[in-house]
Structure 1
Amino acid sequence: MAEKGDRDGTVTVVRHPAWERLLVATGFPLLGALAGWLLKLLANWAESWPWIPWEGPVKLIDGAPEPWATIGALVVGAVAGGVIVLLAEHGYVTVTVADDQVTLARGDSRQTVPRSAVAGVFLDGKRLVVLGADGRELAVESKNEGADLPDASLLAAGFRAHGYPWLPDGDPHKDEYMRWVEDVPGLPPAGNALLKARAKALDKGDEKEIAELRGELARLGVVVRDDGKRQWWRVIDGADAR
């Protein structure tokens, strides 16, 4: 969910609502603490079994003195929940739309595109794309790269409010993509090597590497989109394809 875009003069900000972020920030540490407490109870119960896996850790937990064992379980669980909160915060995308530019912000990353360069904006599944006139993707936030996008209808309303061309049918170049397989012809030099490296990053779930390699491919004139761990690609007009 995303809250209604906030208007501040000539700026519209579309983001996740404060109540949702607060719910995540408080809920996951509490759930983590509960999980830690239940794990402590399970260890106490498992100690009576004739055979148990991970016997050493179970006996260590069961043998810890009270109340420190319970306090420790609660603290460890709450910290684990806090880590999830930090990951969630890093993934939230805030979109700031002004008459002269649009900014996509997530964590310590910011992508700003001037209005004059924007030919269209659209959602492609779990991707938000700002498209240039030559077919280049000027800014992208993707679920595969850890992004958590605001509500689609509010994004559309925010861009339309400032006269940006919102494309409700999605990517106008969607019929130009081809599935990538190793050593496929038609890519610029180094394109296959970068896509191969990116395939490995997708397998590992390395969001930072996935995003950085997307940028490297974009500099070669290659646009890439993902379907799970499969990559699809197209070359923009004027790129040096081989």
Structure 2
Amino acid sequence: MPSDRFEQAHGAPAPRTTVLGHPKGELWLLLAGLPAAGLLAGLALPRLARWASGSPVLPWRDGVAFVGRLDAPWQTGLVMAAGLVAGLVLAFTAIAEAMRLELTDERVRIEQHDTVLVLERADVSAVFRDGGHLVFLGADSGELARGEHGAPAAALADAFRAHGYPWRDADPHAALFHRWIPGTPGLPAEIHALLKARRTALKRSAGRDARDLAEAVREAGFVVRDEKGEQYWRPLAGGGGQ
């Protein structure tokens, strides 16, 4: 129900505030489902290792054989505990990386990655969903913020439109993106270097480095987005390059 996705704060009518956090169902899935999955994985891992150890092409054979020998009850308990901890870490990491928003008619407060960003309504030119991400664009068409948010698009659209934000059903600049190919003519060497470094950061799952490099790309007059493991670029509104 919509009340699970967002709720308006009670009290004085001005300023009216809408809080957009994790949907309750998604929170339960993260906080209960991932630890439970970790426990089950810990229980099954020694059995799977014993089964796989007979394969003639098995990589990391010594490590797999070691796990397969963990069949004492206390050893199984330790492996299950490790799985539980891993599930909890994944759950809290997912919650920390997802956006939490507080909307008013004047500004939006964004909590993400242990940081807080406040955007003035007048500085936001578009808000839309890009896959599982919520994206804010500025007056120059550059990304002001991007992050995961589990609420349905309809609930997000209702909330933003109620506060006068320019909600869009899709990226208004989607047709301008080009897939990045190293050495593509028309892109400055500086952008090629930044995108190459960002590709390396993405392969290392270095999210902070990838975000910093995306910001450097924007400062140089371009926007970068990811799709199916590839980087796509476009110039900022009024920027150079085609």
Equivalent pair of 1:188/1:240 in contact (CA under 8 Å): no
Deviation at 1:203, TM superposition (A): 3.1
Which of these residues, 31, 37, 43, is aligned with residue 31 of structure 1?
37
Unaligned runs of 5+ in 2: none
CA spacing shift, 1:195–1:157, aligned 2, 3 Å? same
Could you tell me which amino acid in structure 2 is paired with residue 31 of structure 1? A
CA spacing shift, 1:98–1:38, aligned 2, 3 Å? same
What residue is the counterpart of 1:217 in the other structure? 217
Equivalent pair of 1:214/1:224 in contact (CA under 8 Å): yes
Equivalent pair of 1:29/1:78 in contact (CA under 8 Å): yes
Could you tell me which amino acid in structure 2 is paired with residue 163 of structure 1? G
What residue is the counterpart of 2:195 in the other structure? 195
Aligned-pair RMSD on alpha carbons? 3.1
Unaligned runs of 5+ in 1: 142-146
Deviation at 1:140, TM superposition (A): 2.1
Equivalent pair of 1:201/1:209 in contact (CA under 8 Å): yes
Deviation at 1:94, TM superposition (A): 1.5
Deviation at 1:188, TM superposition (A): 4.8
What residue is the counterpart of 2:87 in the other structure? 81
SS of residue paired to 2:167: coil
Aligned residues: 232
Deviation at 1:35, TM superposition (A): 2.3
**Residues in 1 aligned to 2:163 and 2:217: alpha-carbon distance in whole angstroms:** 30
Equivalent pair of 2:5/2:24 in contact (CA under 8 Å): no
Q: Deviations over 1:28-54 (max 9, x none)?
A: 22232222223345567889x8x9954
Deviation at 1:99, TM superposition (A): 1.0
Q: Deviations over 1:38-90 (max 9, x none)?
A: 3345567889x8x995475156423xxx5422322321221222222222222
Deviation at 1:139, TM superposition (A): 1.9
Equivalent pair of 2:8/2:19 in contact (CA under 8 Å): yes
SS of residue paired to 2:100: strand
What residue is the counterpart of 1:57 in the other structure? 66
What residue is the counterpart of 2:121 in the other structure? 115
Equivalent pair of 1:43/1:59 in contact (CA under 8 Å): yes
CA spacing shift, 1:69–1:100, aligned 2, 3 Å? same
Deviation at 1:159, TM superposition (A): 0.4
**Residues in 2 aligned to 1:126 and 1:45: alpha-carbon distance in whole angstroms:** 37
Deviation at 1:109, TM superposition (A): 2.9
What residue is the counterpart of 2:7 in the other structure? 6
Deviation at 1:116, TM superposition (A): 1.2
Deviation at 1:166, TM superposition (A): 1.0
CA spacing shift, 1:107–1:22, aligned 2, 3 Å? farther
- 1:103 lines up with 2:109 in the alignment: yes
**Residues in 1 aligned to 2:43 and 2:234: alpha-carbon distance in whole angstroms:** 52
CA spacing shift, 1:237–1:78, aligned 2, 3 Å? closer
SS of residue paired to 1:190: helix
**Residues in 2 aligned to 1:229 and 1:42: alpha-carbon distance in whole angstroms:** 30
What residue is the counterpart of 1:15 in the other structure? 21
CA spacing shift, 1:219–1:24, aligned 2, 3 Å? same
Q: Deviations over 1:104-133 (max 9, x none)?
A: 322313332101112221223333222222
